[in-house]
Structure 1
Amino acid sequence: MKLFRLLVHQKNFSDEDLIINPKDLPEAKTGDIVEIYHPPPENEKGKKAEEEFPRLLLQIKTLSEDSLQSRSKNEDTLSVEQSIATTFLLKIYNIVSVRIVNPADVALDSMELTFKDQYMGRSEMWRLKNHLTNTCMYINKKIEFCGGAIRCQVYEMWAQGERVACGVVTEDTKIVFRSSTSMDLL
């Protein structure tokens, strides 16, 4: 576990969900899954602290030394896309704990994707499942595939029988596709 100062960025700055300098986390490599969370205060430990300080899982997609410059020479920083940081209650400029996790430990049992105003055949669903295998998902993540021809959003996820906010899609993850166009509530 290593401590970093949290910064945020907009999608127009970078399409990446996570920007981290490889000098700050030398053991990291492309494809690794990292867990990011605010460490609970010393006087708060246990389940309650876990609920108040949710944990975010993100995948390192690129490592570039010039992508993120530290504000201070002696301080390690990382940047998370702003909407993700807001969803997971990560406070900007605060200290966060970061550790590399084993993908098998955070594997999803099942995931529900919703799409709207488009047709998705079984072949597109199969291709999308293959594309998502070995990637990290979080709640409300917007997914574009085939150059934007297929657009969907993560609605719910389950791991070890419980609803979770993030996890890794594996070969064994069951994906349910739901069309929100056909959902009519009376």
Structure 2
Amino acid sequence: MIEFVHQARVDWMPKVPKVVHIIHHPIPTTCNDERVHELVFNPTTFPQAQTSDWFEIWSEPSGPHFIFNGHRQTPTDKVKPKDLSIAEPLGKEFGIPNRGMVHYHVHTAGKVVDQFELDYVVMQFKDTYLSRSDLWRVSQDLQGKAVYVDQKYEGPDKIMAVIKTLVSKKNEKAQTGLISSQTKIVFQSRSATIYWLWQMSAEMWSYTGDGELYFDLAVNSLIQKFLHTWEKDDSTHCIAVIFFSRVIYPDNTYEDFYKVVKMLAGKRDHEAMQRKLKMHFGTFLQSMGCASFFKEEH
């Protein structure tokens, strides 16, 4: 009687790391081209590896290690490497030589690799509405996958996003990593509508020790900081600055006043946006009928 014993797959790597040949494969130029895989491996060289496995590679003994999702070469694939092939943009970005040699380690999918596990990931999307259920589906879809900085992600229902930041469990920025069930995913929109409420109290028309109005201080420092940050991220937010105030009259009655100032933040004229805020700042005081009071105070 012959007894068959099931042998579980385990991470495998020679005791002395071997080196394999690697080439770069181009990205598609038309929508009819096949989907580009980050890393394609030859099943003859890696008979135990599966498409779901992760490949850790490094070119120099003391150099950085990177991890990618592996794709098992099939007869229909256009990319047919001798050992490994990596997408050309990734090879250039991470300094992986074309037609060179790299060390490798194959990790079985599903097992946590401590050195690559990410603490959190920042994803940016633009001109797309995402509901809470969409965010949950994206989070589930990314679990157990290797990701890299500036990776273009296409998820369920054609959700498009870009992975901008990876932070490891050691609180260090990483270039590649693994998303586990413990990884926190932060979603950032680059085309959001932001409502900014400014309480226009009497202090807004008061002067700082440097002789600057507190309102001008807010516009020239706080607003500028946000605008430059959004411009750097290529964001095009729509900002609605809402001035609001309450005027209390001598008979203890009061009246509330509001003013909405809409602006677009992005690669635009920051000075024009500041002028617009300051113009509405002046007219808001007149709309409250308090201009004469502040003239007497100042």
**What TM-score does the superposition give when structure 1 sets the normalisation length?**
0.81
Q: Matched residues, percent identical?
A: 24
- Deviation by residue 1:24-62 (Cα, 9 ceiling, x = unmatched): 12232231111111124xxxxxxxx43xxx322111243
Runs of 5+ consecutive residues of structure 2 not aligned to the other structure: 1-16, 29-33, 193-225, 229-269, 271-298
1:98 to 104, 107, 125: 104
2:121 maps to 1:129: no
Counterpart residue identity of residue 51, structure 2: T
Counterpart residue identity of residue 59, structure 2: H
- Deviation by residue 1:129-170 (Cα, 9 ceiling, x = unmatched): 00111111011110011352x100111011121111111111
> What count of residue pairs does the alignment treat as equivalent?
169
**What TM-score does the superposition give when structure 2 sets the normalisation length?**
0.52
Larger RCO, structure (CA 8 Å, separation 6 or more): 1
Structure 2 equivalent of residue 46 of structure 1? none
Please give the secondary structure, in 2, of the residue aligned with 1:99.
Answer: strand
1:86 to 92, 100, 107: 92
Please give the secondary structure, in 2, of the residue aligned with 1:104.
Answer: coil
2:73 maps to 1:34: no
Q: CA RMSD in A?
A: 2.1
Change in CA separation of 1:27 and 1:2 when aligned onto 2, cut-off 3 Å: farther
Distance in 2 between residues matched to 1:7 and 1:61, nearest whole Å: 14
Distance in 1 between residues matched to 2:83 and 2:155, nearest whole Å: 31
Change in CA separation of 1:62 and 1:94 when aligned onto 2, cut-off 3 Å: closer
Counterpart residue identity of residue 92, structure 2: T
- Find the structure with the greater CA-based Rg: 2
- Deviation by residue 1:71-110 (Cα, 9 ceiling, x = unmatched): xxxxx52100111111111121111111123533221111
Distance in 1 between residues matched to 2:76 and 2:56, nearest whole Å: 23
Runs of 5+ consecutive residues of structure 1 not aligned to the other structure: 41-48, 71-75
Distance in 1 between residues matched to 2:93 and 2:157, nearest whole Å: 26
